[in-house]
Amino acid sequence: MTKLNRDKAQPAGIKLLFAALLSSVALVTGGCSGGGERDENDGTLLNTITLPTDVVLNLACEDVGVWPENCVLDDPENPFATTPISEFDVNNPNDPFNKLELAARIPEGPSGAKARFYLWATALARRPSGENQYFTALALHELFDANSNVLNQDELVREQAKKAYRSVLENFFGGVAVRTCRVVDGCDPPSNFFIQLNERVADNLYRTDATGWRRLVPGDPRFAIELLIDWGFTYDPCTDLPACTNGVVSVGEF
Amino acid sequence: MAGISLTKRIQIAFGLFALALCLPQVSYAQSDVVTTYKDENGWQLRVNGEPYYMKGVVWGYTPRGQNYTYNLFGQSDDQIRKILDYDFGLMAEMGVNTIRTFTMIPPKWVTYIYEEHGIMSIINPLMGRYGYNINGKWVPFTDYSDPATREILKRDMQVFVERYKDTKGVLMFAFGNESNYGLSWSSFEIENLPEGEQNTAKARYLYSLFEEVIAAGKAIAPNQPFTIVNGDLQYIDLIQELMPSLDVLGSNVYRGKSFTDLWAVAEEKLDLPVAFFEFGSDAFNARSFQEDQLNQALILKDQWEEMYRKSYGMGEEGNSIGAFIFEWRDEWWKYLQIEQLDIQNTNASWANQGYEFDWAPGQNNMNEEWFGIVALGPTNSDGVSTARPRTAFYVMQQIFTKSPLELDRDGVDRLFAGINLELLDLKGEVGQLAAESAEDKRLLRLTGGRFEGEMVLKGAEKSIDEEGRDALEFSDGQSVFLDFAFEPNDKTKGQMTVNLLGNVADKQPLEFSYGDRGRPVSVLTEQFIQIGDEQVLVEVPVPFNDQERIEIYDFNATYEGENADIEAFYHTSRFHWGYEGDHWGLLRETTDIPGMDIWNAKAPYGVEFTGKGKFKNMTFLIGPEVYWGANPKAMFKYDFRLANFDWTFIHSHDIARRTTGVDTTDITSRQNSQTAITAEREFANGIKLELGGLFSSPDEIEESFERVDRAGNVFLDEIEFEDTLGFRGKITFPWQETYLKATHAGLVADAGTVHRTFGIMDPSRLPNDGMGNKQEVEAGMIVRFGDYMLMPRVLYRDNLVHANPFIEPRIENGILRPGTTPRDTDSDPFAVLGNREARSAELYLTYDPTGATQFYDWDNDWREDAKFAYNIGGTYTRFPTKTDSYLFFFDPLRINVPFGEGLAAEDVWAVSSRIVMNPNPSSRYIFRFIRGFEQSTGNPGGLNDGNADYFEFHWRAEWNRKHFFSGFYKNDAFGPYDFFRQFNLQYPHQVQMDYSMLLGGSGVQFGSIQDEQRATRVGIRAQYRSLQEGNETFEQDGDYIFQTILYFTYQF
């Protein structure tokens, strides 16, 4: 309050003050236009979303699905953009998590490949891990295989899948996925086992049988090894087929 | 002059007044009989029948680094004696025989000054000039028309006169200080008068009260004259009409080198002797921008020569009976009052054409910190602030060799003609050079510093059980602070402090402290090691023990420009703009420097431009972190007046996002911009109205968010323009300070801090929050009765959009039910956090019989002077809904991480009490109790589902202002730092006890927070924390952890 104000002060007009006060109360109790409480006319109902079953993937940005790009979260076609995906927490191992459950409920085969991509890419954008990057790459690989008749898409998705695989090696080289072998799978008692992801990446690129899908590097499998060398890695393929557990991926050339 | 600059000085004066009232009733008998005498030659003042001419100065004693809160008479008797002997010894050397002071000197010291140094005192209560405590309430603008106020003032002044009437050394009683310039109160009755008559009407009340006080005083003290301290001759006709009991016309006069027609007018109107209670000149030349001793001396010489000629028997009016030069010592606190107390500011704060030597049109020329006839020097080994005589001192020394009552007209002429100003000026200049040389004034100079050392012994129950004595860990730490000042040119000056670390003691987790930045850290590096025949690449931890050993602790510099003053600041206290119209709290206060030091935070950091001249009322602020937690930001403020309202426009814009926080509570925020406008007006009937609008977060328009309706449907919605708007209104009635405040804030209309009535000491626990998404009403009042104060307050708040629950996503037959999760402020445009729905009420009772030391002042722990004062009260809050998810800052990744879940709906409460006791002048006890049930501020899980049902007891005891014993006991409470509550870390028992002793030091006296912070100190602190299952280190440490810290601080 300035001195001038005090010196020039006049008695307050009671009517004026009441008007000001009532305006304030009206603002609070009624809210101003549009700024009050939301109702059903605001926004879009988001209770259910039909998962995509097609195999045409529109890339939201150049590196979608490759860490650290997270534009998938803003992709209007991503059904999982707002979905809370929880993961296994090694510090709180008893906490529930839903990522694998959601993944398991997406239809198998090409009709679920696009949804799978969005699920894993969303999980990757929110929490960088080798597992999320690997399964994003795997989904892209599946999409590449599934949409082979769509010529314009073919090369784009192939390159995207290769970038995603490469990211597993470059950003999450030591990454593993933990899976449980259940009684129904032949394990009694059930036990956990690790999947070495760098080995899976190399094998998926090297062998058609590893995925059952078209290889991303066509022609002689040695081309896949050359691609890995271009990326800075060496692959010594497995020999214990069909289990294929003794392949070795190394950093750099020996 | 003093009237303009002394707005704060009243607090100390009043405090001493209160002190004086508390002193035991001691009469110092045999006071002198002082009378006025008149014959055809004019007027004389007579002491015991002998003619007496007042050769006086206005005396005050405030050392460098202190301000108006400094309490000289709170020191030990020995120290007081040293100071008085120094100052009054020098005054006696100059020939001074009387002083006037704003400090209320206790009677025994009035007598001491008189008996030891022959100097008499004017007793000058200010009588409400700068506010007064009326029935327990501090009224800043005394209403002399109010019957209760008049009664209280009259009563208190009589108490004063009664106390001093028999005190040897008392010359006269004077009341007020330019009180006619302070007629600022408002009332219906007076405001209805034509504007030109309003002040005259108020003045009638003032002078009629003076008359009543003096008439009553004379009945009590017939042996002393009574006067007032008027501002020049204003209202002399009213004085003539209303004050028949007045003995002497006392006046503060700043007319330049001559008092012009004052003598004649006073003689004609009043026919009373005249005494000047203030006059003089500053010793700084605003034109040449340097100390100017000669012109100060010249003006004083001319003024005294005129007074001598106007005294008894000189053939002129004959009504001069003496005067008091303003002032004895420079006062370094007067410009900013609480800042830059170690620097003599050269800012000129007002203009006076009467002082031709440095006056220029449109420029200020009166330098408040330079009015002393002795300059303020450094403190000597006795703890006494030294004084360096200026030229004026030596001139006055020659003049005061004679009283005009000993001279005739020719003698006066000879006395003044004989003054060799050149020689005396040389003396003054030599003194100045010598002093400056002694202080080694250079561009950059070391001004002081401190050394801190500590030894720590700590242990944990489990280690001790398993490893015996060797399980105790010992560590030590050393830290040095060096203070530098610099003044590269006349307009630029500043200071900085550099910190150097030696070892760093390991006190965590019981205590975090400044210097922890130097703790050893371990960094994982990749190395090849030989295993058999193979080289294997492995990660190896490498310790670093010597990081960040030196750093700039703080920095502050100011530049006084033509159109703006510029201040650069780095980690020095900064205040909010709440008192400058920032009712939305956009600029937050950053004053808790010790609290930030724990985390080595460096806020506030920036540059402020304060406009002058044609840019007056504009302020521009920019910096990387202008308050703690701020993004790099620019702020602009403009104040103006329109339609009888004071308006303030503020725009705040984040330039970038801060990339890192300093602890888990220091989350980084999204970039934002805010524009606010406020208007306020105080009406004559005391009603105050504040209105405000806010436009915040426009970048978030069209940003999507999810919400869930009452039926559980999830909606994807968007931020709209209306969501960025906020409005507030507040009306405050004078009756019991009742207020009603209403706020509407759109979803993203985030403001800043909500200012509390009593600042950081306000006991309120109302869940105020500056975030948007709310409709809120708050009301309260302050009821005062006697020395009691009752504060009821209520708050009601609804959200526009509720927090989101966690809804598990599902996929069934190719259909995704996406669910939802609680929002957070990183991923979503808004979240429901501290702004959650609330219904809250509280009631606090305060008892404080000494209103001048406000119970809720931030430094009340040091200043409260009541024998017994306390508060007690509590707050109950119902939070009917959950919150969204809080965030914490995760340093390894430099990102914010959400807790994932919100806090549950809960009812929380707390009751507390603070008690201050001063059983005698040398001891003080402060106790604080808290009992409460409160929620975590982040983690909703863990112990007791995130709730603490706790009890706390804190104490601080002080003896002889040298011995301190403080500590706390907490039961089932959160840990001591914010992150403990954020992560819901609570403990069954926490104990801390600290004893320390101040050892003094160069220039240090005790009795204020400043003194305590500057003192050399030795102490010991013990800390204990019991653990339980669920605590983070229970498995590792066992049932408890403890440590003892021996510490030492040496100031130099």
CATH value at residue B269: 3.20.20.80
A71 compared with B438, residue with greater pLDDT: A71
pLDDT over threshold 80, residue B320: yes
Helix (H) or strand (E) run with residue B465 in it: helix B461-467
Other Cβ atoms within 10 Å of B665 Cβ, number? 21
- The reported pLDDT for the residue numbered B187 is 60
How far apart are the CA of B728 and the nearest CA of chain A, in angstroms?
7
A44 closest CB neighbour out of B709, B715, B806: B715
Beta strands at B274-278 and B320-325: parallel, antiparallel or unpaired = parallel
If one counts every other C-beta atom within 10 angstroms of the C-beta of residue B939, the result is 20
Q: Which of B654, B603, B644 is nearest to B626 (CA)?
A: B603
Beta carbons within 10 angstroms of residue B63's beta carbon: 25
- Residue B451 neighbours by CB under 8 Å, 6+ apart: B478, B479, B480, B481, B1049, B1050, B1052
* Closest Cβ–Cβ partner in A6, A25, A98 for B186: A6
Contact B188 A11 (CB under 8 A): yes
Q: Tell me whether residues B731 and A17 touch, CB distance under 8 A.
A: yes
Which of B704, B811, B813, B885 would you mutate first to test chain A, the one with the most A CBs within 10 A?
B811
Nearest to A34 among B681, B683, B722 (CB): B722
Domain membership of residue B806 (yes or no) is: no
Place B555 in a pLDDT band, splitting at 50, 70 and 90. Answer: very high
Alpha carbons B480 and B1024: distance in angstroms, whole number: 28
Name chain B contacts of A36, Cβ cutoff 8 Å.
Answer: 800
Tell me which chain A residue has its CA closest to the CA of residue B804. A84
- Confidence bin at A12 (pLDDT 50/70/90): low
Banded model confidence at residue B1007, pLDDT cuts 50, 70, 90: low
**Cβ-nearest to B800 among A25, A38, A47:** A38
3-state secondary structure of A140: helix
B744 to A45: CB separation less than 8 angstroms, yes or no = no
Q: Which of B116-120, B501-505, B521-525, B1021-1025 has the lowest mean pLDDT?
A: B521-525
Nearest chain A alpha carbon to B690: A20
Q: What percent of chain B has pLDDT over 70?
A: 93
CA angle B932, B936, B937 (to 5 degrees): 120
Nearest residue, CB atoms, B184 vs list A6, A29, A51 = A6
Is there a contact between A45 and B800 if contact means CB atoms under 8 Å apart?
Answer: no
Percent of chain A residues topping a pLDDT of 70: 82
- In 3D space, the residue among B434, B492, B486 whose CA is nearest the CA of residue B289 turns out to be B492
Distance CA B1009, CA B1015 (A): 10
3-state secondary structure of B2: helix
Nearest CA-CA distance, residue B643 and chain A, Å: 11
Highest mean pLDDT among A192-201, B357-366, B870-879: B870-879
Distance CA A58, CA A79 (A): 13
| Burial group, residue B953, by CB count within 10 angstroms (0-12, 13-18, 19+) | middle
Phi and psi angles of residue B897, each rounded to the nearest 5 degrees, phi first: -125, 130
Does B102 map to a domain?
Answer: yes
Residues in A closer than 8 angstroms to B685, CB to CB, are 11-12
Tell me: pLDDT of B348 over 90.
no
- Is the confidence at residue B20, as pLDDT, over 90? no
- Contact status, residue B631 vs residue B606, Cβ threshold 8 Å: no
Q: What pLDDT shows up at residue B266? A: 93
CA distance B969 to B952: 6
Q: pLDDT of B855-864, one tens digit each?
A: 988 888 888 8
Question: Is pLDDT of B324 > 90?
Answer: yes
CB contact under 8 A, A11 and B641: no
Residues of B within 8 A of A46 (CB-CB) are: 706, 714-716, 818, 820
Q: What is the DSSP letter of B1029?
A: B
Range picked from B122-131, B586-595, B867-876 for highest mean pLDDT: B867-876
Q: How confident is the model at residue B442 (pLDDT cuts 50, 70, 90)?
A: low
Tokens found for residue B509: 């987790």
Task: Report pLDDT for B135.
Answer: 80
Compute CA A88 distance to the chain's CA centroid, rounded to the nearest angstrom: 15
Cα torsion A234, A239, A242, A243: sign: negative
pLDDT at B575 over 60: yes
Highest mean pLDDT among A249-253, B667-671, B757-761, B848-852: B667-671
Find the radius of gyration of the CA atoms of chain B.
Answer: 33
CA nearest neighbour of A127 among A77, A47, A165, A73:
A73
Count how many Cα atoms sit within 13 Å of the Cα of residue B672 in the half-sphere of its side chain.
25
**Quick one: how far is CA B392 from the chain centroid?**
34
3-state SS, residue A129:
coil
Instruction: Classify residue B272: in a domain, yes or no.
Output: yes
End-of-domain residue from the set B607, B637, B665: B665
Question: Structure tokens of A145?
Answer: 């295989």
Measure the CA–CA gap between B371 and B252, rounded to whole angstroms: 14
Predicted pLDDT at B17: 40
Token duo for residue B908: 């929380």
The 10s digit of each residue's pLDDT in A170-186 is 999 988 888 777 777 77
Number of CB atoms found within 10 A of residue B41's CB: 12
More confident residue, B529 or B157: B157
- Name the residue facing B684 among A10, A36, A79 (closest C-beta): A10
3-state secondary structure of B269: helix
Q: Give the amino acid at A190.
A: P
- Whether pLDDT at A32 is above 50: no
Q: Which residue among B665, B698, B716 closes a domain?
A: B665
Chain A residue with minimum CA distance to B641: A5
**Between B293-309 and B421-439, two packed helices, what is the crossing angle to 10 degrees?**
140
Q: Judge: A32–B819 Cβ closer than 8 Å, yes or no.
A: no
What is the extent of the structural domain holding B635?
561-665
Tokens read off for A98: 């839903």
In this prediction the pTM is 0.70
pLDDT at res. B997: 92
Tokens in use for B366?
Answer: 């009166």
In which band, very low, low, confident or very high, does the pLDDT at A231 lie, cut at 50, 70 and 90?
Answer: very high
Say if strands B605-611 and B564-570 run parallel, antiparallel, or are unpaired: antiparallel
B49-53, B544-548, B681-685, B987-991, range with the lowest pLDDT: B544-548
| Average confidence (pLDDT) over A6-25 | 53
Strand order in the sheet with B42-47: B34-39, B42-47, B50-52
**Cα(B495)–Cα(A202) distance, integer angstroms:** 63
Contact A32 B707 (CB under 8 A): no
Q: Residue B948: helix, strand or coil by DSSP?
A: strand
Is the pLDDT at B120 greater than 50, yes or no?
yes
Write the pLDDT tens digit of every residue in B184-227: 766 655 556 566 667 888 899 999 999 999 999 999 999 999 99
pLDDT tens digit string along B261-315? 999 999 999 999 999 999 989 999 888 888 888 899 999 999 999 999 999 999 9
Bridge partner list, B122: B100, B172
Point out the residue among B682, B720, B807 whose CB comes nearest to the CB of A34.
B720
User: Cβ contact (<8 Å) for A8 and B644?
Assistant: yes
pLDDT of residue B184: 73
Q: Coil, strand or helix: which one is A232?
A: coil
Summary mean pLDDT of chain A: 83
Residue B532 lies in a domain: no
Q: Work out the pLDDT band at B74, boundaries 50, 70, 90.
A: confident
Lowest-confidence region among A128-142, B357-371, B719-733? B357-371
Q: Which pLDDT belongs to residue B903?
A: 96
Phi-psi region of B483 (alpha: psi -120 to 50; beta: other; left: phi over 0): beta
Option in A3, A35, A37 nearest B725 (CB):
A35
Q: Indicate yes or no: CB of B682 within 8 angstroms of CB of A3.
A: no
C-alpha span between B600 and B1010 (Å, rounded): 22
A162 CB-contact burial (10 Å; exposed 0-12 / middle 13-18 / buried 19+): buried
Chain A residue with minimum CA distance to B715: A45
How far are the Cα atoms of B106, B954, B989 from residue B993, in angstroms, in the given order?
Answer: 37, 10, 13
Beta strand B725-733 with B738-745: parallel, antiparallel or unpaired? antiparallel
- The answer to whether the beta carbons of residues B189 and B684 sit under 8 Å apart is no
Q: Considering only CB atoms, which chain A residues are within 8 Å of B742?
A: 24-25, 27-28
Locus of tokens 């050892």: B999
Query: What pLDDT score does B6 carry?
Result: 41
Residue percentage of chain B with pLDDT more than 90: 62
Q: Is B832 helix (H, G, I), strand (E, B) or coil?
A: coil
Amino acid at B612: K
Among the partner residues B644, B725, B814, nearest to A32 by beta-carbon distance: B725
Task: Return phi, psi of residue B745, to 5°.
Answer: -135, 125
Instruction: Give the distance, in angstroms, between the CA of residue A167 and the centroid of all CA atoms in the same chain.
Output: 14
Beta-strand (E) ranges in A85-190? 176-181
CB B377 within 8 A of CB B388: yes
CA distance B330 to chain A (A): 28
Please tell me the distance from the alpha carbon of residue B141 to that of residue B143, in angstroms, as a whole number: 6
Q: CA of B606, closest CA in chain A: separation in Å?
A: 27
Pairwise CB contact (< 8 Å): A11 & B681: no
Do A190 and A180 form a contact (C-beta atoms < 8 A)?
A: yes
Q: How many domains does chain B have?
A: 2
pLDDT at position B758: 84
How many angstroms separate the CA of residue A28 from the nearest CA in chain B? 5
Q: CB–CB of B1002/B981 below 8 Å?
A: no
Q: What per-residue string of b and e applies to B640-661 under the rule 16 or more CB within 10 Å gives b? A: eeeeeebbbebbbbbeeebeeb
- Cα distance between residue A153 and residue B854, in whole Å: 76
* Residue of higher predicted confidence among B22 and B609: B609
Phi, psi of B61 (to 5 degrees): -135, 105
Which residue of A38, A99, A122 is the best one to mutate when testing the B interface, meaning the one whose CB has the most B CBs within 10 A?
A38
Which of residues B26 and B409 earns the better pLDDT score?
Answer: B409
DSSP B877-942: EEE-S---EEEEEEGGGTEEEEEEEEPPPEEEEEEEEEEEEEEETTEEEEEEEEEEEEE-SS--SS
| B618-625/B605-611 β-pairing | antiparallel
Q: Tell me, what's the pLDDT at A64? A: 96
Block residue for tokens 């599902």: B810
Token pair listed for B299: 């003006």
The answer to whether the CB atoms of A27 and B729 lie below 8 A apart is: yes
Q: Assess whether pLDDT exceeds 80 at residue A93.
A: no
Grade residue A16 by pLDDT with cuts at 50, 70 and 90.
low
> Distance (Å, rounded) from C-alpha A80 to C-alpha B613?
60
Composition of chain B by helix, strand, coil, percent to 5: 25, 40, 40
Q: Which residue has the tokens 């009588």?
A: B127
B27, part of any domain: yes
The answer to whether position B460 is within a domain reads no
Q: What is the mean pLDDT of chain B?
A: 88
Instruction: Judge whether B289 lies within some domain.
Output: yes
> d(Cα B160, Cα B14) in Å, to the nearest integer?
12
pLDDT at B47: 95
- Residue at a domain's end among B601, B632, B665: B665
pLDDT (tens digit, 9 = 90+) per residue, B932-990?
999 999 999 888 889 999 999 999 999 887 899 999 999 999 999 999 999 999 999 99
Residue B12 pLDDT > 50: no
Residue B742 amino acid letter? A
Chains A, B: CB contacts under 8 A, how many?
Answer: 169
Does a structural domain hold residue B549? no
Per-residue pLDDT tens digits for B217-253: 999 999 999 999 999 999 999 999 999 999 999 999 9
ipTM of the assembly?
0.83
**DSSP calls for A57-95:** ---SSTTTTSTT--GGGG-TT-TTTT-------TTSTTS
Confidence of residue B30 (pLDDT cuts 50, 70, 90): low
d(C-alpha B572, C-alpha B494), whole Å: 12
